[in-house]
Amino acid sequence: MIHLIEDLAVLLLVSLPINLLFHKIKLPSVMGYLIAGVLIGPYGLQLIEDIEAVKHLAEIGVILLLFVIGLEFSLTRLLKNLASVLGVGGFQLILTAGTIGWIFHLYGFAQNQSIAFGLIIALSSTAIVLKMITDRAEIDTLHGKLCIGTLLFQDLCVVPIMLLMPLLAQTGAISSIDLLIAMLESIAAVVAIFFLSNLIVPRLLTWIARNGNKEHLTLSVIFIMLITGWASQKMGLTLAMGALIAGMIISDSEYNHQIIIDILPLRDYFSSIFFISVGMLLQVEIFYDSILVCLQLTVAAVLIKMFMAFCSCLLVRAPLRISLIVGLRLAQVGEFSLILAAIGLEKGLFNTNQYQLLLVVSILSMLIAPLLIQVSSKLSIWIFSRSKAEEGVEKEVEENLISEHVIIAGYGLGGRTLAKVLQEAEIPFIILELNGEKIKRALTEGMATHYGDCTQEETLLRAGVKQARMIVYAISDQVSSERAIRLTRKLNLDVKIMVRTRLASQVEELKAAGADVVIPEEFETSIEIFCRVLKEYRIPNNVIEQQVELIRMEGYSMFRGLSLNTESLKKFSTYLTATLTESYLVIEDSWINEKTLGEIDISGATVIAVVRKNKPYPNPGAEFLVLSGDMLILFGSHMQLNKSIQYLREGPESQL
């Protein structure tokens, strides 16, 4: 027991600085855990020497990791979005597993081993890919959605693959009918455990929540995880499968939010136990003795996975450049592959040497995955920008009658809103979009639409960039936006370029690329929040507008932690000390309706004009009769305006 506690303490000691380091360099901590495991394990510095203890830690890590994944893996939510993940995900898994399995079979491996290798290598790393897509604010991009849909489909297929592994490990020839029967029996066991647990667990949690406290609820969750794992093993499945089922059941309970809050703080530690223990199981001697073979297998696996994901995207009619990005981002072997490989080793499907080679290939592919993800967008743009524009493009554009128009790149929510406003204002515009569904929507709504990639010169020329007055980039991919801005500025020095970005930290980069106006979403949200707060405290509109203008003059630097410079402070002082104006609309039931200005007797501020039916009446006298619909223009200081508006709204009683 003391050795187990020491080992867990070492793992925690190692995982903390690794998390801090990789967070600092903006890389997934999974990479660091794997490297640390290799260094501290029995085949490295031997800080943890007991191989059996390492295997037990790995098994504990698998159970805990799958339980936490189950908590975040809502079956109800997945079934609602099932149709959206079947396309590219189904093609990717079938093509990759089939191709890799066929190659292994050609090299003399048994059929059951070939199938297992194909299924294991076909899975990609949800932990690495999803984290980097989220950190890069690319979830709403087309390639981000394709990647996430594929990963969701792979995660969905983990359960049947886990059921299939023990069946593939059965010795002797097994017919297709026997395999089908065994598979159905395993699925029946999973369904039985799931529905029995689903009948008992919610009622148990409800009773404990009503009669106990938070600690009792946490203890009951741990008990549910253990008992479900035990029942799963008794029915011929694995402890890990039971933990996954327990997590999925609890995720759909009414207390899932509180449970997730209690359990998820330990998620990173659970993950670190698993990945570090996997790294410790890697026999460095095997890697050194066959380093060339390991590198060749890794390169082959990465290239095959990249090509098959690329083809899968093409089969669902995704653009070539987007398909290449998805291929590069899904080219690694995933964490579920490590779990399945361990099951295969335990069941005798692989020998130790085969397992070690699979472990090496998985770890190496995970280590290079962040690099491929980081270069994927820029590399795809560079490759497809090498192709020359078709002849006659410029001639076609010159014959195009449209000019002084707006080009809208991206038909998401922002692009649609802008297009509708321009349409109402009868301002000519053209939409550029890569997503086929959005193209169909734009055409259905009667919008002038071009299908094309805004990072390509040919596409911009076809949209008439040389004749355009303005181009608005409303796309979520910051790398593509930067490339498109530079290209647009090269083609037309005078066009006004406006671009939307998610993060204020990207403003300067996009302006340096040639954008005239950059609007970060987080900044505009902040402006809307503080405007509404100030309005709640009845701060005059002109004061609020001047605060907004001041921040925008600073180029959003206030939101990046930079102080105001001297020139801005002078402008700020000018704004605050200047005499201001405010307007007040007289409505039907207003107390000042049908009274003269002399009767109203506004103290402090001065009525410098009245606007009636769009006609101004400057410097009205005391005898001027105020009517419903009139707009009073007030002149005075901040305090005078504030008191006067309150007086006009509430009447003379407000001055008492």
Question: Does residue 537 contact residue 570 with C-beta atoms inside 8 Å?
Answer: no
Q: What CATH homologous superfamily does 579-656 map to? A: Regulator of K+ conductance, C-terminal domain (3.30.70.1450)
- Which pLDDT score, from 0 to 100, does residue 300 have? 93
Mean pLDDT of 14-32: 77
pTM for the model stands at 0.63
Residue 643 vs residues 28, 202, 536, 589, 608: alpha-carbon distances, Å? 56, 58, 15, 20, 17
Top-confidence residue, 409 or 549: 409
Per-chain mean pLDDT for the chain: 78
The torsion angles phi and psi of 141, rounded to 5 degrees, stand at -75, 160
Quick check: 446 pLDDT over 90?
Answer: no
H helix intervals, 514-591: 521-536, 541-553, 566-577
Mean pLDDT of 515-534: 79
Domain 402-501, CATH class in plain words: alpha beta
Quick check: 349 pLDDT over 60?
Answer: yes
- Do the domains 402-501 and 579-656 sit in the same CATH topology, yes or no? no
Q: Any residues with CB less than 8 A from the CB of 90 and at least 6 apart, and which?
A: 153
- Which pLDDT score, from 0 to 100, does residue 304 have? 93
The whole-angstrom separation of Cα 181 and Cα 184 is: 5
What's the one-letter identity of residue 8? L
- Which pLDDT score, from 0 to 100, does residue 193 have? 72
- Which pLDDT score, from 0 to 100, does residue 100 have? 92
The whole-angstrom separation of Cα 365 and Cα 369 is: 6
Q: Any residues with CB less than 8 A from the CB of 242 and at least 6 apart, and which?
A: 193, 225, 228, 229, 230, 231, 232, 233
Nearest to 648 by CA among 611, 612, 609, 595: 595
Mean pLDDT of 509-522: 84
pLDDT digits (tens, 9 = 90+) for 152-206: 788 777 777 877 887 787 755 555 666 666 667 666 777 777 777 777 877 787 7
- Which pLDDT score, from 0 to 100, does residue 310 have? 92
DSSP one-letter string for 385-398 = HSSPPPTTHHHHHH
Specify the residue for token string 């002038």: 448
Instruction: Please give the DSSP secondary-structure letter assigned to residue 64.
Output: H
- Which pLDDT score, from 0 to 100, does residue 191 have? 76
Q: Per mean pLDDT, which of 4-18, 183-197, 387-401 is the most reliable?
A: 4-18
pLDDT digits (tens, 9 = 90+) for 273-319: 777 877 887 888 888 888 888 899 999 999 999 999 999 988 888 88
What's the one-letter identity of residue 294? C
Q: Per mean pLDDT, which of 131-140, 204-213, 395-404, 571-580 is the most reliable?
A: 204-213
- Which pLDDT score, from 0 to 100, does residue 99 have? 92
* Torsion, Cα of 278, 279, 285, 286 (10° steps): 50
pLDDT digits (tens, 9 = 90+) for 486-508: 889 988 888 999 998 877 777 88
- Which pLDDT score, from 0 to 100, does residue 210 have? 76
pLDDT digits (tens, 9 = 90+) for 551-596: 666 555 544 444 444 454 444 445 444 447 778 888 888 888 889 9
Quick check: 471 pLDDT over 80?
Answer: yes
Mean pLDDT of 327-338: 87
Angle between helices 256-263 and 51-72 (to 10 degrees): 150
**Band of residue 397 on the pLDDT scale cut at 50, 70, 90:** very low
What are the structural domain ranges in the chain?
A: 73-124+138-259+287-380, 402-501, 579-656
Question: Does residue 451 contact residue 433 with C-beta atoms inside 8 Å?
Answer: yes
Mean pLDDT of 75-103: 76
Q: Per mean pLDDT, which of 57-61, 63-67, 92-96, 171-175 is the most reliable?
A: 92-96
- Which pLDDT score, from 0 to 100, does residue 176 have? 61
Mean pLDDT of 522-526: 73
Q: Tokens at residue 303, please?
A: 């290239």
pLDDT digits (tens, 9 = 90+) for 351-362: 888 888 888 898
